[in-house]
Each structure stands twice: as structure tokens, then as C-alpha cells.
Structure 1
Amino acid sequence: MRGIAALTVALMHVSSSFVELPGRSVLDKAGLFAVQALSNGYGAVVAFFVISGFVLARSLDRNFDIVRFVIARVFRLYPAAIATVATFAAVHYCFGFSVYPKASFAPLNVLANMLMLRVDIDLVMWSMKAEVAATPLIILCAWLFRRYGMGTVIAVAVALFALAFVGQFAKSIGDDTNLAPIFAFPVGILVHFKGRDVAAKLTPAAVALCAVASVAVFCACAFFKPSGTWTLLVQCLSAATLVMLIAWRAEATTFAPLDLAVVRLYGRISYSFYLLHPLALWGANRLMVYSIAQFDSVPVTVIVIAAFVLSVVFITPLAWLSWRFVELPAMNRLRSVPASRGVLPLGALPGDQHVN
């Protein structure tokens, strides 16, 4: 699901300036409509947040070791981000090229981007900055659920959704990052703790229907303001439904394509792919502008899809190298870090007896 979400973001990057073109035939207009429906990149980021809440709640549920959890987040998020910013900086220093015109490659700003304090060099890293900011929230919600039950986590999610309407909150960690969809993390945590019970009550036909409906609603959100607060909520609930069904009803034939080797590949490299794909945008956009001007008989849909495929082909090897030689070594290094002493059970309060 992460891999598909990363490809959705990539399609949005490539197509956003061209799907609103009038189209050269009725079929071409229908094709551009389909491309727009499949390129809900902002919704895909919301799905990333739901998935993170779900996966990280599972991790904390197994072992509520806060120190090790925080170390794991550092090892998981920062190495690939640092390597990506270094790659962008190297391309700029060697060729004078920058994906974004307002990016600064002054040494201190490069360092700030590597630490995710700023994200002007690679704008997609705003979501990773939000993930870092959400780490205490995830720990709190996992603890609240085990100590006080589902109602407390629902209350946190509702409060964060209400705050999403407040601009000062949405931009509280910088104008380059939108915290409005941060309520998706508690929703993902709820899917971990309660999703199995809900999914178990569904018949196979209901599972298939819910999955198809969730995807349809998610795609429909592409035609509304993707960052609108109510749209964020709909996208969050659609993603949460899919995560719940994929996690707890994996036997459904609807999800068989997720086991394909190519889908699993993009699932593994999705983080690096997401970070690196903006490197392909300049070439993809130039290709589309040239092709649309020179080949007036070729449908715009074909040109957009071709540019998207070429961008994916270009970035995939780079993403695999980053996954293989940056992400994996960092995760393997984490396995050698000993657990901290005095792990606090999820149901315990500070001051209660610790369990070693």
C-alpha cells in the first residue's frame, strides 16, 4: 500500500500541470479524467500517516520501550533523508540545477534540510517533518489506549481534527509543513487496536465492497481541494478502511495484486522513491511540454502517462540503491542497539513497577 501511495504521489507530481488541459478528443478527455482521479497525491500522504500510526502502534504494543522507539524512528527516517538532501545538493553544486527555484544550498541550510528543520530543497519532505513531529503523539496515543481505552484516543483524534481548521496550528512548525492531517496518526492507531474486531464482522462480499468503495471515494477526492479539512477527513477514513481490511482480511482476493513482486518492490523502496522522485520532474515536464507542442495528433493522456513511466524508470534504480545501501544498513544497525533498561508496560503509569 505504501508503494502504491508513493506512485500516486509521483503521478500527481508529473500530471498536475497537464490534467486540466482540454484534451484532443472525447477519449483523451476521459483519459485525463482518469489520470486526475488516480493522482490524489495529497490523499496518499494522508494514507502514509494512517499507515504509520498503524505500524508504529503495533511496534509499541509489542514493546513499549520509548527510548528504543525514538532511536528506531531516527534510524528509519533520517538516513534516507540525509542521503536525498546530499544528492540534491551534489546535483546543484555540480550542475547548478535545483528542482525548486527558492531552494537555498548554503551549507547551513543544507544541514537544516538534512535534519528536517527546513524542507525547501526537497519539498516532499514536509510530510517527513510532520512524521517527526508526530512521534510524541504516537507514543501518547498508544499509552492512552492501553491505559484508558479507545475513548481517549478518539478524543485526541477529534481534537486534532478540530485544530486542523486553525491556520496557526496547521503551520505551527513552519510555513513549509501542514499539520492539518496529523489526526490521521491516531486513526491509524485505532485501526491497530480495534480494526481486527471490525473486520472480523464483515462477510467476504462486504470486504470487497468496502475496499472498492474506499478506493472510489479516495479517487473522487482528487476533484476537490485535496488539503481541505473535510477532504482530509474523508481521505483519512478511506485509507483507514483499506489498512484495516488489508491487515485483518488479507485472504480476500481483492488484495491479491498487493502480493505481486513489482508491488512488493515499490513497497520496500517507497520511502526513498518518494523522497527522490522530484529529481525527475524537470525532465518529465520538459518532455511533456515539447511533446504536446510537437505531436498534436498524440493524445495528451498518452504523453502524460509516458512521462510518468519514464520518471518512474529513472528514479526506481536510485531509490533501490538508497534502500539497499542507506535504509537497510541503518535498520540493521538498529537491530544491534540493546533495549533500554526498565521498559514501561503500556498499561502502567509512571511510578509503577517497571518490567525489565
Structure 2
Amino acid sequence: MLTHFGESLTKLPVPAAVRAAANLWFLDLFSPGRVGVVAFFCISGFVIPYSFGGKNPALSFPINRFFRIYPAFWLAVCLATLVFAELGVRSTTPSQFLVNLTLLHRMVGVPYILTVDWTLLIELLFYVSCYALFLVKRIHSFPVHFAAMVVLLAIALGGGVYRWYHPMSSLPIGIPTYLAAMHFGALTRMRVTGYGPVATRFFPAALFLLVFGAAAANTLAYHHTKTELIGVVAANTGYLGGVALFLACVYAKLFVSGPAQLLGKVSYSVYLLHTIVLAIVIGLWPFFSSWIMALLVLVPAYFAVVVLVSILAQRYVEKPSVAFGRWGVRRLEGQARIGSKRTT
């Protein structure tokens, strides 16, 4: 939320010094948003491989993940379509809208509606890889996740070398580095839950490889780039900051207070809805007589409204959707048991 507001501030009618400070803080030296993204991916790796539960995990995992991700995403796409059209931010064709609902639009070259959904595509890729590892009974293998992380970092390095010599390339280096962070999250889970001497011995090597491999790939990819919003320093400090924040949460047990847990509960809706609210805030900016007054009024309102609508979305969309998915799994498992008894 903070980063996307800061990026917007660089395009609003504010004094040059304020615009320069926003550029420096959010785009050149440090990216709080990238910290959040990397920490999020590490947390996904910490959690998702251990989400294969129930009587038939091969059935329950994809169903539960679908109802966890898609209904709230559909709500955000619908709201974004309406709000952005009303504000004149961007128009949406019916075919673009329908393809966006699949969450695969970026893979087929269809323009996005919701700017932040690129992280969800990477999340889905990780789901697919975890599902494959589960099917071959390697989902909780430290060597497999370690090897996957190393391969992904090698791919990122190769892509970084290519972009070093092709500054106009938009080859997505972030995909392999973020997927590597997810596998590192899985390795961290194994390390802290007593996987065994292999995890204890090789976890420091995994951390070393992630930090230096991702930093090298980011440096190669961002140093000469003409296609990225943030600079090479911000790309690296943001990524390393996200890994550090994740490890601090794991080992120091940060964010265990009630308000922090509430924000954690609604964080998916915050992620989906905040750019929609931000568009409204930017639309209201010209109605204020001075930029200071706009800042004092609209920034607190921005944060408050995002949290409020996210609480409502979590309660009335996310929570019922997850419950419906679990109900569906129970029904399917029950029918499978009945069919098995009849066959017997």
C-alpha cells in the first residue's frame, strides 16, 4: 500500500523536492513493496507444501486453493473494471474481462485489469510444482526443494546475463527469483521443525545461495535495464529485505499482536483491493487546494478505507468461499467412500 502510494506521488502535482524524495525512497534506493512481495513468497513456501491434508489431498488441495484464491480475485476484478472505467483510468473489453477472470491473461498476452495480480500467477506456478512434488511423494524432501531453488537461481542468472547485454529486454527475471524464495521458505520450515541433520547442515548454504544468487541475478538484470520501474539498488535491497523480514518473523516471532493478526487475516483482500482505493484517492487529489492538505486528508483515508473494505471482503467473500470449498471437498470425499463401499 505504501509503495504504490509513493509511486503515485511521483506523478502527482507536488513540489519537485517531494517528487524527488519519493523517487529516491520508493524507486531508486529501496522498495518497501518488494520487501512485502518477497516475504509473501517466502511465507507461501513455508505454508503451502504443508497444506496437503485431509483424506484425499490430491483432491482437496486444488479445490481448497481454488476457492481460497479465485472468488476474492473475481470481486477485485469486477470492482476494478467498474471503478477504473468510471475514473477514466482504463477501459475494459468484454473479452479482456473474461480472460482476466481466469488469472492466466498475462500468459496469453491479454492486458491486465488489476495491476497487482502478477504475483498470483507466480503463486499458481508454485501450486502446480508443489502438486507435482506431492504426487511423486517428494513434497517434504529437503534435497528436492534445495535443488529446485538452485536450478531456479541458475535460470535467473542466465536471464540476468541476457538482460545485461539486452537492456531493452523485459525477460521476467523475477519469476525464477521469486519461485526460488518460495522453495527457500519450504527449506526454512524443514529447518525449524526438526527435519533432520540434512536441514541443519545445509540450510546456511541455502540461505547463502539465495542471497548471493538473487543479488547477482538482480544486478545483472537491472543495472542497464530500460524496462523496469525500480533501479538496481532498490531491486536488491527490496529482495534481501524481504528475506530478512521473513526470517525475523520465523525466528523472532514478530507480528503476534491482535491488530497485526487482524491485518494478516485480511491481507489478501488488502492486496487485491488497495490499488482500486488508491485510484479513487488519486482522482480526488485535484479537489484539494494544496498538496499538503491532500496528503493530510487522503493518506489516512486511503489506509482506513482499504482496511475497512478488506475486512468486509474477508468476512463476506473470502471466508464463505473457503468454507464452501471445504464443504465441497467433504461431499466429494463422502461420495467417493460410498462408491468404494458399493464396489466392494
Per the TM superposition, whether the score is higher than 0.5 is: yes
Spell out, residue by residue over 1:42-61, the C-alpha distance to the aligned partner (whole angstroms, 9 max, x if none).
Answer: 23112211111111122238
Native 8 Å contact 2:55 2:333 kept in 1:
no
Match of 2:299 in 1: 308
1:333 equivalent among 302, 321, 324: 324
Alignment CA distance shift 1:309-1:33 (3 Å):
farther
The alignment status of 1:123 with 2:115, answered yes or no, reads yes
The alignment status of 1:97 with 2:87, answered yes or no, reads yes
The whole-number CA distance in structure 1 between the counterparts of 2:256 and 2:69 is 25
Native 8 Å contact 1:14 1:284 kept in 2:
no
Native 8 Å contact 2:266 2:311 kept in 1:
yes
Alignment CA distance shift 1:239-1:43 (3 Å):
closer
- 1:60 is paired with a residue of what secondary structure? coil
Native 8 Å contact 1:280 1:311 kept in 2:
yes
Spell out, residue by residue over 1:47-99, the C-alpha distance to the aligned partner (whole angstroms, 9 max, x if none).
Answer: 2111111111222388882221111110111010011112223335xx63354
Alignment CA distance shift 1:197-1:57 (3 Å):
same
Match of 2:199 in 1: none
Spell out, residue by residue over 1:148-183, the C-alpha distance to the aligned partner (whole angstroms, 9 max, x if none).
Answer: x4233112111112222428x99xxx9899524222
Match of 2:65 in 1: 73
Spell out, residue by residue over 1:241-290, the C-alpha distance to the aligned partner (whole angstroms, 9 max, x if none).
Answer: 5434434553xxxx3xx233322221111111111111122333355566
Alignment CA distance shift 1:31-1:277 (3 Å):
closer
Match of 1:108 in 2: 95
The whole-number CA distance in structure 2 between the counterparts of 1:125 and 1:226 is 17
TM-score, L = length of structure 1: 0.65
Pairwise mapping of residues 271-350 of structure 1 onto structure 2 (< 5 A)? 271-286=268-283, 294-295=289-290, 298=292, 304=295, 307-336=298-327, 337-338=329-330
Pairwise mapping of residues 57-68 of structure 1 onto structure 2 (< 5 A)? 57-60=49-52, 65-68=57-60
The alignment status of 1:243 with 2:246, answered yes or no, reads yes
Native 8 Å contact 2:64 2:325 kept in 1:
yes
Match of 1:166 in 2: 159
The alignment status of 1:139 with 2:131, answered yes or no, reads yes
Native 8 Å contact 1:50 1:185 kept in 2:
yes
Match of 2:175 in 1: 179
Percent identity of the aligned residues?
23
Match of 1:15 in 2: 6
- 2:17 is paired with a residue of what secondary structure? coil
Spell out, residue by residue over 1:10-65, the C-alpha distance to the aligned partner (whole angstroms, 9 max, x if none).
Answer: 111111143696537xxx99899777778521231122111111111222388882
Native 8 Å contact 1:116 1:129 kept in 2:
yes
The whole-number CA distance in structure 2 between the counterparts of 1:87 and 1:138 is 31
The whole-number CA distance in structure 2 between the counterparts of 1:270 and 1:330 is 16
The whole-number CA distance in structure 1 between the counterparts of 2:71 and 2:60 is 17
Which residue identity does 1:59 align to in structure 2? S
Alignment CA distance shift 1:282-1:245 (3 Å):
closer
- 2:52 is paired with a residue of what secondary structure? helix
Alignment CA distance shift 1:330-1:145 (3 Å):
closer
Spell out, residue by residue over 1:171-226, the C-alpha distance to the aligned partner (whole angstroms, 9 max, x if none).
Answer: xxx9899524222211111111113459xxxxxxxxxxxxxxx9xxxxxx9xx988
Native 8 Å contact 2:71 2:321 kept in 1:
yes
The whole-number CA distance in structure 2 between the counterparts of 1:333 and 1:187 is 32
Bigger mean CA deviation after superposition, 307-316 or 115-124: 307-316
The whole-number CA distance in structure 1 between the counterparts of 2:115 and 2:53 is 33
Alignment CA distance shift 1:271-1:313 (3 Å):
same
Bigger mean CA deviation after superposition, 37-46 or 123-132: 37-46
Bigger mean CA deviation after superposition, 152-161 or 132-141: 132-141
Greater fraction of residues in helix: 2
The whole-number CA distance in structure 2 between the counterparts of 1:130 and 1:85 is 18
Aligned residues: 285
The alignment status of 1:194 with 2:191, answered yes or no, reads yes
Q: CA RMSD in A?
A: 4.2
The whole-number CA distance in structure 2 between the counterparts of 1:42 and 1:248 is 21
- 1:144 is paired with a residue of what secondary structure? coil
Match of 1:267 in 2: 264
Which residue identity does 1:48 align to in structure 2? F
Alignment CA distance shift 1:227-1:33 (3 Å):
closer
TM-score, L = length of structure 2: 0.67
Native 8 Å contact 1:53 1:188 kept in 2:
yes
* CA drift at 1:138: 2.6
